[in-house]
Structure 1
Amino acid sequence: MDGDLILMKQFKVFIEHEDTWHSFGTFQADNSEMALELARSSKRELIDQYSFTEEELPFINMEVEELPS
């Protein structure tokens, strides 16, 4: 595998909070599903920035957009 370069894509993740969509962050990932997983794993930021409870975290509406490379 010498010389092989793995290029990860960049994805912008949006979350819905109080009936409004917010830009949550940009994540490097292989695909959109992985980007959403990374966003969901950012529990502390979701709780601190948006006042979600631990119980609400699995139910947060999220959308993802692939950024041009």
Structure 2
Amino acid sequence: RLSSMSRVRVQIMNQFDRKSHEYKANKRYWKLIQKDSRKLSDKRFYRPTFRMHLTNKEILDKLLSYSED
């Protein structure tokens, strides 16, 4: 049984083609969406999915920006 958060995530992911960057980023980092934003690390690491150094907060902002539509 999916939680309501997971259901929303799946609906968002279904809007994208499975080969798209947005889909792959959501699939890779879905746990960040469910985490308390105050507990997200602000340490920067290289993220191959985005091909740049990002913090977890920055990744979450990117994931949320994909679903603004």
Q: Under a length normalisation based on structure 2, what TM-score does the superposition of the two structures give?
A: 0.29
Task: Report which structure shows greater RCO (CA 8 Å, sep ≥6).
Answer: 1
Quick check: which one's strand share is greater? Answer: 1
Quick check: which one's helix share is greater? Answer: 2
Q: Under a length normalisation based on structure 1, what TM-score does the superposition of the two structures give?
A: 0.29
Greater Rg over alpha carbons, structure: 1
